Amino acid sequence: MTSAGFLAGAVQVSLLLILLGLAVALIRLAKGPSLADRVVALDMMTVTIISFCGVYAVFMEEPSFLDVAIVLALVGFLATVALARYAEKRLEREGEDHDTAKDAETTHE
């Protein structure tokens, strides 16, 4: 087996496994059940798409796909940070609502 044949086979297996990982992440994104699960699934999808761009760049021998992967990595990082911040604010609001409900119960007693 030549090195070119081995590389072609490895790239095909890699692309198949990346697509399998993307499908699993999509299922977790759809099922949830919590916001944290969905954020992690979205981050996993971003990483798998970045890896797909890298493997596809090797397959096509086109380094411009690596630029796309770098930009996607930056956007994915910012999206993860924004979603984590949203989840944190949401938990703070739910905690305040819970404290307000407790205060209302104690005043009625």
The stretch 38-55 carries a mean pLDDT of 93
The dihedral over CA atoms of 27, 30, 33, 34, expressed in degrees to the nearest 10, equals: 110
d(CA 18, CA 7): 16
Backbone φ and ψ of 34, nearest 5°: -105, 170
Question: 36 versus 98: which is more confidently predicted?
Answer: 36
The share of the chain scoring above pLDDT 90, in percent, equals: 60
Q: What is the pTM of this model?
A: 0.78
> Topology of domain 3-108, per CATH?
Helix Hairpins (1.10.287)
The share of the chain scoring above pLDDT 70, in percent, equals: 89
The stretch 21-35 carries a mean pLDDT of 93
Domain boundaries, the chain: 3-108
| 66-109 residue pLDDT tens | 999 999 999 999 998 998 898 889 888 888 776 666 666 666 65
